[in-house]
Chains A and B, each alone.
Chain A
Amino acid sequence: MLSIGLNHYLLLSAFLFATGACGVFINHKNITAMLLSVELMLVSVSLNLVAFSCFHNDLTGQVFAVFILVAAVAEAVVGIAVFIIYFLNHKSIEAENMSGLKG
């Protein structure tokens, strides 16, 4: 227990990922909470990648963690903008009512 190995990090990241997935289902009506849960999952994935990269002495993992960061931010920013526009037009951002976004 005293020496921390790759397994510990992977377990932690698995837990974070599961919590995130869980959150998407629990807060399935609240779109901001869903966004937060997705961010949680993305962070757990980058933790995973960084852990691998450090224990394998290979920087590729960290590089991809950087890319994940970029993707997460771009996604979240556009998402928030869409929420706000949607809120201004419909006065609510409940996920249930968002059927209007269908094609």
Chain B
Amino acid sequence: MIISEIIILLSALFAASVLLIYVERKLIAAVRLKKIARVYGLMQPIADAFKLFFNETILPRGKTQVAFMLLPVLFFTSIVACWAVIPVDEGVVLADINAGALFLVAMFFLSICLIVVIGWASDSKYAMFGALHSVAMMVAYELSAMLAIVCVLISSGSMRLSDIVNAQAEMWYCLPHFPMFVVFFIYALVRTNCPPFRMSESGNISDGEYSIEYTSVGYIFIAFARYVNMLLMSAVITVFFLGGWLPPFEVELFLLIPSVIWFGLKMSLCLLIFIFTKTAFPIYRYDNLVQFGWKMFLPFSLVWVIAAAGYTLVSATGKF
């Protein structure tokens, strides 16, 4: 039973990320006035996949070969594992555990740790450099993003994700917690490597992402993990701030539309913003980014957490 559910989840993720790759290419090409290859550019992802499959696998020479081969799979797993607790509809979730939000956070941290290890296992100065960069950036925003989640938890009073969604029936949390919504959205941009919050693609050495040493299947896993991560972050934003599967208003017409569709619509809205930021903005420099995370976002989210907790306390007890 559980195995069939896992298979369904995995194949849905696979289909969604293939679709995402295609749509991303189309949109970026449209923005950049690029010509699309024949058959609406459909053959290009397939050709890319073939090319990657038949690439020669290049392994580092040192002692890290086993880790090098194993890590992309682990990285992919750590991101896919998050999907286990994400409810796409009332009851449509692999495991609706009590501490769902905590589980998500744990998996976020685990994937960060894995990035460092990937940088190490690549046995190359440049991969290591890229890994340290990515990790330093993610950690700088991680804490404030976690505080944003804490705000949501305070308001909803539960760590179960489906409870959090149901608690937003009256008002989505992106309205009362708007600054935290922004903070979390930027964190999502950082995690999904979208400008203006990421390493550039511009042939610079420091962009050297952690995955530069990977070819063939290892790279496929990492690249897929990236797209699944984009899907995941948009789903997490939807669950925490955009009211999950709930329609925006309790109008008859809106209620007619299945709630899964609402979830998908909100997710694709986030994804669209992710994709368009890729083309629209220059990229902040690394040190500006990290300073921004630690010096602005962290104190601000701390203050917001205290304010949210105070408000919840006052409204619950009715006195100061």
A–B direct contact (CB < 8 Å): no
Interface residues in chain B, defined as those with a beta carbon under 8 Å from any beta carbon in chain A? none
